[in-house]
Amino acid sequence: MKYKRILLKLSGESLMGEKKYGIDSAILQQYAEEIKKVKDLGVEIAIVIGGGNIFRGVQAEKSGIDRVQGDYMGMLATLINAMALQSALEQIGLYTRLMSGIKIESVCEPFIRRRAIRHLEKGRIVIFGAGIGNPYFTTDSTAALRAIEIESEVVLKGTRVDGVYTADPEKDASATKFQKISFTEVYEKNLNVMDMTAFTLCQENNLPIIVFDMNQNENLTKLVKGEQIGTLITV
Ligand code: UDP
């Protein structure tokens, strides 16, 4: 295996599938199966899942809800997704632990770094819910921070697009994909990979990011085996 320990970031939006809101159970099941394939290869897996399919702090402001309040609502949305994913993983026989950035003790453990690492060593899949636990951050930042804390070798950002393009491929048909790109080039070309807080954290800590299409069968497995899939962002 190319990687022994990975952090997989899944966006909340990807869980919607064709729906406009919420969770598509078929997608959830599909993701669980993909994760199981990688687990069966002996890879240690931590997961951060977003909440954009349910609620985002910035959208709260538009409806007159205080931004900070909205961000906490967003964090709770990520927990709903995390619980759904946990359930899907357990249904196919995997051992999991959900750790939350906000204390919510009757539902899951609080995030404790050493404990998270221990869970991984014991073969449990660790899901980080409720983001970092602070407003004004995103789940991309959570992915970057937690990956550094648990000494993950890479952040695998699973999206609906199969990598980083010169322009948004959903809007510009002439956009071309990068196989590999440096952190500096991403800044220079003003490309959208992650929010800047998350991106800078990865760069400063020399943590590679791979952006890839999570909906493509076997992509996750191919990645951990070292195949060139998606776009690698590195120094
Ligand atoms: N959020 C936050 N702090 C965090 C992580 C998330 O305040 O550490 C809030 C923020 O409002 C964000 C929402 O939770 O918009 C959902 O997360 P995100 O937008 O990152 O989800 P994704 O885009 O991956 O679905």
Please report whether residue 24 resides in a domain.
Answer: yes
Does 55 reside within a domain?
A: yes
Amino acid at 156: L
- Structural domain range at position 64: 5-161
- Please tell me the distance between residue 207's alpha carbon and the centre of ligand 1 in angstroms: 21
Q: How many domains does the chain have?
A: 1
Q: What pLDDT, in 10s, does the model give residues 99-119?
A: 999 999 999 999 999 999 999
What average pLDDT score do residues 74-100 get? 98
pLDDT tens digit string along 20-72? 899 999 999 999 999 999 999 999 999 999 999 999 988 888 889 999 999 99
107: CB partners within 8 A, 6+ apart = 79, 83, 98, 100
Mutate which of 8, 69, 71, 195 to test ligand 1's pocket (most atoms within 8 Å of Cβ)? 71
227 CA distance to ligand 1 middle (Å): 30
First-to-last C-alpha distance (Å) of the chain:
22
Element containing residue 186 per DSSP (H, E): helix 183-188
pLDDT at position 168 over 90: no
Q: Is 61 within a domain?
A: yes
Alpha carbon of 201 to ligand 1 centroid (Å) = 17
Q: Which residues are bridge partners to 159 per DSSP?
A: 213
* Position 21 in a domain: yes
DSSP string, 31-42: HHHHHHHHHTTT
CA of 41 to the centre of ligand 1 (A): 31
Query: Does the C-beta of 143 come closer than 6 Å to ligand 1?
Result: no
Residue 122 belongs to some domain of the structure: yes
Going by alpha carbons, the residue nearest to atom 15 of ligand 1 is: 56
Looking at residue 61, which CATH number applies to its domain? 3.40.1160.10
Nearest 5°: the CA angle 209, 214, 220 is 70
